[in-house]
Amino acid sequence: MENLDLIKMVTEKAEKWLTPAYDAETQAEVKRMLENEDKTELIECFYKDLEFGTGGLRGIMGVGSNRMNIYTVGAATQGLSNYLNKNFTELEQISVCIGHDCRNNSRLFAEISANIFSANGIKVYLFDDMRPTPEMSFAIRHLGCQSGIILTASHNPKEYNGYKAYWDDGAQVLAPHDKGIIDEVNKIASAADIKFEGNPALIQIIGEDVDSVYLDKVHSISIDPEVIKRQKDLSIVFTPIHGTGMMLVPRALKQWGFENVHCVEEQMVKSGDFPTVISPNPENAEALTLAINLAKKIDADIVMATDPDADRVGMACKDDKGEWVLINGNQTCLIFLYYIIKNRKAMGKMKDTDFIVKTIVTTELIKVVADKNNIEMRDCYTGFKWIAREIRLSEGKQQYIGGGEESYGFLAEDFVRDKDAVSACTLLAEICAWAKDQGKTLYDVLMEIYVEYGFSKETTVNVVKPGKSGADEIKAMMENFRTCPPKEIGGSKVVLAKDYKFLKATDGEGNVTDIDMPETSNALQYFTEDGTKISVRPSGTEPKIKFYIEVKGEMGCAKCYPNANAEAEEKVKAVRASLGI
């Protein structure tokens, strides 16, 4: 599209926001953008509508169709209301659950959504304050709702907010419902089509009544309560990074029996500005600085952190030299599944029908652990809605015992259908108690896994490309990889390439086979002779293209880790050079 055509398109779109259906403040902001000679801001705010991606609706807060505001949230809620009313005609009363995190405007968006749902005749269960995303997922199932939403932008920077839509199984919306909802949202021509006037009689406030039931269910997943009794003084440092984790994680740890929990006081302050961190992302070392400082001060055993909506968990522990090190998302998932499998077997709880799930970009070492222990492991797409799909498909036939992804998400239970940092934190504490009971640390456990099952190093490279021009660049990069696939990566021949857009796999000899997945996805994977795995995909929620690199190595003993890691780092450098990143 030529620049003049683009400006004409966004101008016409923006002018529709100058009607009485939009509040005076919004109209004034739109006028300012229209009158500005530099049309960059106008284009960024109106060149497209926010769409449901792998994480629902997510964007920078502000005025415009490509921004998070009461009108884009309102259109999403009106569209979802229309879709629910069409799909559940047989029900006397359709109901939804609404949760939100600590972000600026999250409560406002939640209350406006509650009004819109109720104006459409839908009963609303609205949490009285911020709550973790997994509890909202649980509440949908517990309360028998047909849908639910949570207002959160997860671990994104403070400028962002988001809107995740869930279905009656407590999982994020999948096809055909996601497309159906989008179709209904697209029918909303303007704010005049949104029913903002709520019906208070249909809005019920919930809180402790759900909290206590959810926490009891979380406690039920403990595998070895006796080890916790022996190690109840395990020294734990926890930070919610200003978010919803503060509502339930300390309480859950206490319920499990841990008596020595230290919360980072500066970050136990609810704030959408996240004043103590650059970014509220437990994947980033900087976000754990205050927690690690406290851990050093009190000589703690483990540091755990949750993101603003408490679905992701980050962790740090002491290495063999007593230095604090971060455990990455792949290692996190690996440790959880290793413990669950090993201890379920030891306690006679494992069944032949048990299965675990990981995403296609998560470490292949999990597959090695599963195979050696004769446990079924399934691969699925990135995003916990796909893990939830596997649980749903096997409900009543097989038992899900755990699953996760490299981006610090883990789910140890099936009564929630999204990643759950509340249960992950408590299970992590149990793992540390189990290790300490044997005179070991979490780091020792990780080293033992590497020695027994092989070493791997995983690195994620995010190439950020903001705005419309960035979106075009990302599209071109994917197209280039697709049409000119690499023959070798890091000096090793590519022996298998997978293209999930066409669901085709091509081996080193050029033989093509079908990939069995529920739908297509804009993702590519390359596997090399030396065991390296490369995955490439655009993010569904952020303006970036992601490269997931996994290289293999050998570790003869726990002390061999530094050498194995150094060799792997050299391999990663060679891979990045091959890919031009």
Question: What is d(CA 413, CA 408) in angstroms, rounded to the nearest whole number?
Answer: 16
Which of 157, 299, 191, 280 is CA-nearest to residue 237?
299
Question: What is d(CA 385, CA 166) in angstroms, rounded to the nearest whole number?
Answer: 9
The tokens of 271 are what?
């704030």
* SS3 category, 58: strand
426 and 234 in contact (C-beta within 8 Å)? no
456 and 551 in contact (C-beta within 8 Å)? yes
User: C-alpha distances in angstroms, 456 versus 365, 432, 497, 510?
Assistant: 7, 22, 20, 28
User: C-alpha distances in angstroms, 476 versus 151, 351, 483, 511, 521?
Assistant: 32, 47, 10, 26, 16
Beta bridge mates, 505? 498, 513
* Residue from 154, 407, 521, 578 carrying the catalytic annotation: 154
Helix 208-219 × helix 421-437 angle, to 10° = 30
Question: Which amino acid would we find at residue 398?
Answer: Q
Q: With the C-alpha atoms ordered 418, 379, 525, 282, is the resulting torsion angle positive or negative?
A: positive
Beta bridge mates, 405? 409
Edge to edge, the sheet with strand 302-306 lists: 261-263, 236-239, 302-306, 313-318, 324-327
Question: What is d(CA 385, CA 167) in angstroms, rounded to the nearest whole number?
Answer: 10
Write the Ramachandran bin of 242: left for phi over 0, alpha for psi from -120 to 50, otherwise beta. left
User: C-alpha distances in angstroms, 78 versus 92, 104, 121, 215?
Assistant: 19, 22, 11, 32
For the residues of 268-296, what is the DSSP string, one character each? SS--TT-TT-SS--TTSGGGGHHHHHHHH
* SS3 category, 118: helix
Q: Which residues of 411-432 are buried (b: 16+ CB within 10 A; e: fewer)?
A: bbbbbbbbbbbbbbbbbbbbbb
Neighbours of 306 (CB within 10 A): 29
Burial class (CB in 10 A: 0-12, 13-18, 19+), 356: buried
Which of 370, 186, 161 is CA-nearest to residue 280?
161
Q: Does 154 participate in catalysis according to the annotation?
A: yes
Which DSSP state fits 6?
H
Catalytic residue numbers, as ranges: 154
